[in-house]
Amino acid sequence: AVGSVAKSQIAANQIVVCLAMEAREVGSDDKANELMKEFKDQFRFITATFHPPNLPGETPGKPSNTNWAAKQMFETEMGKLGLNINNVVVTVADADSEFHPQYFEALTYQFLNAGCGESDTADRYVSIWQPPIIH
């Protein structure tokens, strides 16, 4: 997934990547460090979070890991990067996901043009965009 995201023309200036790792996975530190080293110059920012195991009230799995990573990013990194969270679009992907090289440009266009009209609340803040899935 990371390699296909890096092919986007807007990757270096606009895309922030968070590698949402499971702390209980053996070798997750090494895997994250390797990916961050390989792609550090291809994104605006790339980092990793490590979801701790056995948190009270959580069921282990992708949803809890995604939630952990999002909280870490919004609580610590977004402010440091000077990003306005009203202009952030979150995309969640698995390691084996592949994106079209212009997917993120198209997504940005859709985000910026959603809700342009007479509505008080722009539709961009309540929209979910689903890319085509090809098997």
Give a yes or no: residue 42 inside a domain. yes
pTM for this model (two decimals): 0.88
Residue 29 to residue 37: CA distance in whole angstroms: 12
pLDDT band at 60 (very low <50, low <70, confident <90, very high): confident
Location of structure tokens 């965009």: 129
- Confidence (pLDDT) at 31: 98
The number of domains in the chain is 1
Give a yes or no: residue 120 inside a domain. yes
Residue 40 to residue 106: CA distance in whole angstroms: 24
Q: What percentage of the chain has pLDDT greater than the value 70?
A: 94
Given a cut of 60, whether residue 120 has pLDDT beyond it is no
Higher pLDDT, 120 or 73: 73
Given a cut of 90, whether residue 133 has pLDDT beyond it is no
Give a yes or no: residue 133 inside a domain. no
Give a yes or no: residue 66 inside a domain. yes
Given a cut of 90, whether residue 131 has pLDDT beyond it is no
- Confidence (pLDDT) at 117: 61
Structural domain boundaries, residue 79: 2-126
pLDDT band at 119 (very low <50, low <70, confident <90, very high): low
Contact between 21 and 49 under an 8 Å Cβ cutoff? The reply is: yes
Give a yes or no: residue 134 inside a domain. no
Q: Hey, is 15 helix, strand or coil?
A: coil
Give a yes or no: residue 108 inside a domain. yes
Location of structure tokens 């968070």: 18
Cα angle 56, 61, 66 (rounded to 5 degrees) comes to: 90
* Phi, psi of 104, deg, nearest 5: -70, -30
Give a yes or no: residue 132 inside a domain. no
Residues forming beta bridges with residue 51, ordered by sequence position: 22
Higher pLDDT, 63 or 120: 63
- Confidence (pLDDT) at 93: 93
Q: Over the Cα atoms of the chain, what is R_g?
A: 16
Give a yes or no: residue 16 inside a domain. yes
When pLDDT is averaged across residues 109-124 and rounded to a whole number, the result is 73
Element (H, E) at 46: strand 45-51
